[in-house]
Structure 1
Amino acid sequence: MDCSFCAFLADPAPPIHTVLRDEVALAFLDHRPLFPGHLLVVPVSHVRTLTELPAELVGPFFERVRLLTGATERAMAAKGSFVAMNNKVSQSVPHLHVHVVPRNPKDGLRGFFWPRRRYADEAEAGRTAELLRAALAGPTG
């Protein structure tokens, strides 16, 4: 497949760490996160950009983004979050994806030149994904 996200949807085996998958969206850990808990949320159907997302999927897709944002903040004990997407320019994979990044005051991120890192190992990524799944299943708030 030309689209790595469609490949993940077809076979979600490692190396991705899935946090949520349903008929609307797939959410998984970014392999080069800004901070642990950095998620990518993609629609299950292949669409390249926000403008191509069918109107009937806008609400359901962004409801998942909203729920995942709350879960990320809770799971990572973050004071807030950064939620963003690129359309065409700087879009590293040609499949709509939303970044959900846990944020804290003085976390070192300034502007858009943010250093990215990798998880120390698969175990750290697995523990982070489990925290996020538990927070997603828990109470909202």
Structure 2
Amino acid sequence: MKECVFCQIAKHEAPARIIHEDELVIAVLDIDPISDGHTIIIPKKNIPDIHSLDSDTGKRVMEVAKMLAGAIEKEFSFDGSMIMEVNGVFQDVPHFHLHVFGRNKSNDIKFSYPENTNSDQDNLAKNAKRLTNRMCAKN
């Protein structure tokens, strides 16, 4: 079975514009960037999704994301930055990765919410209880 492209990048077997590399992660420019400096942080070991992410790797991913967000904002004069991770049906590569990209007020990047989000207080209380119980049960 062929390795995923992110495993190949981590082993330097596929081309990539490397921004950062250490023993746990590699950060490379996205080949289809949302904005200048759009970078993907990839664990070197194959971790299919966030549910499989170990604490040490997760901590390192976030440390690198913090450094990258600052570098991207300063280098490309962005007003801020965004961090994005996708699991399941919308995950294009079955290997956990985190996107870090710059944002300006003028960026045409929109995330829309449906009009009816069930934001009444009773529903919010029920959802808070459900999630609290689920987290106490350790999923």
**TM-score, normalised to structure 2's length?**
0.74
- SS, match of residue 45 in structure 2: coil
Runs of 4+ in 1 over 4 A off after TM superposition: none
Identity of aligned residues (%): 30
CA RMSD of aligned residues (A): 1.5
Point out the structure with max Rg over C-alpha. Answer: 2
Determine helix, strand or coil for the equivalent of 1:56.
helix
Flag structure 2 segments of 5+ consecutive residues without an equivalent: 113-139
Q: Residue 11 in 1 paired to residue 12 in 2?
A: yes
Q: Deviations over 1:83-107 (max 9, x none)?
A: 1100122110011010111100121
Give the equivalent residue in structure 2 for 1:52: 52
Pairing 1:27–2:34 present: no
Q: With a CA cutoff of 8 Å and minimum separation of 6, indicate the structure with the bigger relative contact order.
A: 1
What's the CA shift for 1:35? 1.1
Deviation at 1:13, TM superposition (A): 5.7
Instruction: Tell me the amino acid that sits aligned with residue 71 of structure 1.
Output: A
Partner of 2:97: 97
Q: Structure 1 regions of 5+ residues with no counterpart?
A: 113-141
Which residue does 1:125 correspond to in 2? none
Equivalenced residues, count: 111
Q: For residues 73 and 12 of structure 1, what CA distance do their matches in structure 2 show? A: 30
| Partners of 1:44 and 1:2 in 2: CA distance | 12
8 Å contact from structure 1 (residues 12, 18) kept in 2: no
Letter in 1 for 2:3: D
Displacement of 1:60: 2.1
3-state DSSP of counterpart to 1:82: strand
